Amino acid sequence: MNELAITVIGRDRPGIVADVAEVLARLGANLTDSTMTRLRGHFAMTLICVGPAAAEVEAALAPLAADGQLLATVRAVSPDGETAPAGEPYVMAVHGADRMGIVAAMTRVLAEASGNVTDLSTRLTGSLYVVVAEVDLPPGIADALARRLAATAADLGVEVSLRPADPDLL
Amino acid sequence: MSEEYAGLGGWTPDALALPGQVRQVVTAPNPVLSRPGGEVDPTAEETVQLAADLIATMRVSPGCVGLAAPQVGVGAQVFAVDITGHPKAVTVHGTFVLCNARVVEASRWKAGREGCMSVPDLTGDVKRASRLVVEGELPGTGKSVRLATDGFEARALQHEIDHCAGLLFLDRVAGAHAVYQRKVYL
């Protein structure tokens, strides 16, 4: 069974999700995990599906991109299986005046501490830049990491907070 | 209600005995919003004026249920709250201003959507205590008060106390998908 990673990006309009899902359904591709959002108005969808060969899906999606407004890519990926959460879940929030390199610098600090970003969103509104990252951290490092993040944030002139993610279990 | 939670003791904005001026509200990333405010003398004339100005500014701002000194560019631990008439209001203490306020009891944490005049284009999901006891001082008399509240007023108080500590709701959002572009402007 092939596992495929598909991205569809481009000018937003009603019906893109339906068009993509219809193509996949027709080919017997089972849509598993997916996410879709609009990034500054652009349509952006990433999904994993299981089923047919990559070339077959690529050909079937080609008409969607024919008008040049959408870009669809299909790639076979090796199934990784579900990876167990590697550490303690935290949320890093950064906000401040927009400037080059905020995400690069802050996520580098996370990476150097072996923090694994599991979800990320950024927003620019006016001159305010906001980054929210969910990150799995090795046990016991959060306090030291928070100090390093604060130092890097101070260099950038932005604010940072690192808080445990809400487990919110029943 | 016990003496311990005597609330505001009948305090109203009339106690300030001076008219408030509408001040300009500053927005992020203005650094004053990220600096902890200083403690104030609640009986000082400038504190009383600030209190009156916060109320005046809150009243001319549609949908505004609270305003803290850093939001008008003053790094001080003073804020105004008034959730009167809000559809989500449960306990309501009317219009009031607290100085040097701190949370002394917080429980029953619940997620809710928050906005902020200083972050006008975004909202976010934030977990706050829905049962809250706050201590602070009233502007003018300087009288210490202990206020027990819940629900929406508790959320508003925590939001404003955060402002006085240099924190925005953005510092407490629940996750990467808990920040939203504002769809409705009041």
Q: How many CB atoms lie within 10 A of CB B26?
A: 17
Q: Are A98 and A105 in contact (CB under 8 A)?
A: no
CB nearest to B176's CB, from A133, A161, A166:
A133
CB nearest to B178's CB, from A97, A132, A161:
A132
Task: Clarify whether residues A110 and A61 are in a common domain.
Answer: no
CB nearest to A121's CB, from B28, B174, B177:
B177
Annotated binding residue at B177? no
Annotated binding residue at B163? yes
Band of the pLDDT at B1, cuts 50, 70, 90? very low
Q: Do B173 and A126 touch (CB under 8 A)?
A: no
pLDDT tens-digit readout, A62-108: 999 999 999 999 999 987 766 666 789 999 999 999 999 999 999 99
Task: Clarify whether residues A56 and A21 are in a common domain.
Answer: yes
Please list the active-site residues of B. Answer: 160
Q: How many domains does chain A have?
A: 2
Q: Do A91 and B175 touch (CB under 8 A)?
A: yes
Adjacent-strand bridge partners of A95: A130, A159
pTM value > 0.95? no
Q: Do B173 and A91 touch (CB under 8 A)?
A: yes
The ipTM assigned to this model is 0.90
Q: Do A121 and B176 touch (CB under 8 A)?
A: yes
A2: Cβ contacts below 8 Å, ≥ 6 apart: A50, A51, A52, A53, A54, A76
Q: Are A116 and A135 in contact (CB under 8 A)?
A: yes
Q: Which domain holds residue A93?
A: 88-164
Question: In this structure, is residue A20 part of a structural domain?
Answer: yes
Strand order in the sheet with A70-77: A30-39, A42-51, A2-11, A70-77
Burial of B74 (0-12, 13-18, 19+ CB in 10 A): buried
Question: In this structure, is residue A83 part of a structural domain?
Answer: no
Question: In this structure, is residue A37 part of a structural domain?
Answer: yes
CATH number of the structural domain spanning residue A146: 3.30.70.260
pLDDT tens-digit readout, B12-64: 999 999 999 999 999 999 999 999 999 999 999 999 999 999 999 999 999 99
pLDDT tens-digit readout, B76-134: 999 999 999 998 899 999 999 999 999 999 999 999 999 999 999 999 999 999 999 99
- Is pLDDT at A124 greater than 70 in this prediction? yes
3-state secondary structure of B135: strand
Domains and CATH numbers, chain B: 3-181 (3.90.45.10)
- Is pLDDT at B6 greater than 70 in this prediction? no
Q: Is the peptide bond before A167 cis (omega within 30 degrees of 0)?
A: no
